[in-house]
Structure formats: structure tokens, C-alpha cells
């Protein structure tokens, strides 16, 4: 079975691939059939087509913290 993969892009959206269902707050399912193999979800808050990225992040100089941070030693 294929897995869902979520990848943070450089100062941009989250790229989501794999078998997924995207549902809004009211329980309505988004039609993803026209979006190909990947869905790009806005994480800058500026898209006029939320939850999808519309490229606004590149106009607003959005800076994301896309690097995973290792947990500090607890000892
Ligand atoms: S991440 Fe692209 S418009 Fe928000």
C-alpha cells in the first residue's frame, strides 16, 4: 500500500503525495482529481485558495522553519 508523504518545501507550501482525502471543517471532501500526484498545502496563510498554495508565499517573502530540529538531550 502506498504511503502518504508530506514534505516541507523551501519557504513554501507542504507537498503531500500518496493516497489522501482532504476534508474541510464542515466535513466536505475536496475534489483532488485535477491536482495530479501531489497536493500543495499553504502554510504561509496568504493563499486566496486555501487550503491550497496559490504562490502568494513568494510575493510575501514568507520564511518557514522547514528544517527538522533534533530533540535536545534530556539528560
Ligand atoms: S504557502 Fe504558498 S501561498 Fe501560502
Report whether the peptide linkage leading into residue 51 is cis, meaning its omega lies within 30 degrees of zero. yes
For ligand 1, is residue 43 a contact (CB within 6 Å)? Answer: yes
Q: Judge whether 56 lies within some domain.
A: yes
Question: Which of 11, 13, 65 most suits a substitution to test ligand 1, by most atoms within 8 Å of the C-beta?
Answer: 13
Q: Judge whether 69 lies within some domain.
A: no
Distance from the alpha carbon of residue 12 to the mean position of ligand 1, in angstroms: 6
Q: Judge whether 45 lies within some domain.
A: yes
pLDDT score, position 68: 79
pLDDT score, position 73: 61
CATH number, residue 7: 3.40.5.90
Q: Judge whether 43 lies within some domain.
A: yes
Full domain range(s) for residue 48: 1-23+36-64
pLDDT by residue for the chain (75 residues), tens digit each? 679 999 999 999 999 999 999 999 999 999 999 888 999 999 999 999 999 999 999 999 999 886 878 776 655
* Number of domains forming the structure of the chain: 1
For ligand 1, is residue 9 a contact (CB within 6 Å)? Answer: no
Q: Judge whether 44 lies within some domain.
A: yes
Q: Judge whether 10 lies within some domain.
A: yes
pLDDT score, position 65: 80
Q: What is the 3-state secondary structure (H, E, C) of the chain?
A: CCCCEEEECCCCCEEEECCCCCECCCCCECCCCCCCCEEEECCCCCCCCCCECCCHHHCCCCCCCCCCCCCCCCC
**pTM for the complete prediction?**
0.85
SS3 57: helix
Amino acid at each position: 500500500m502506498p504511503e502518504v508523504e508530506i514534505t516541507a518545501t523551501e519557504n513554501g507550501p507542504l507537498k503531500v503525495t500518496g493516497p489522501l482525502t482532504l476534508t474541510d471543517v464542515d466535513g466536505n471532501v475536496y475534489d483532488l482529481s485535477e491536482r495530479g500526484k501531489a497536493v500543495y498545502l499553504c502554510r504561509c496563510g496568504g493563499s486566496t485558495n486555501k487550503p491550497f498554495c496559490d504562490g502568494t508565499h513568494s510575493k510575501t517573502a514568507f520564511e518557514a522553519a522547514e528544517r527538522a530540529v533534533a530533540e535536545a538531550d534530556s539528560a
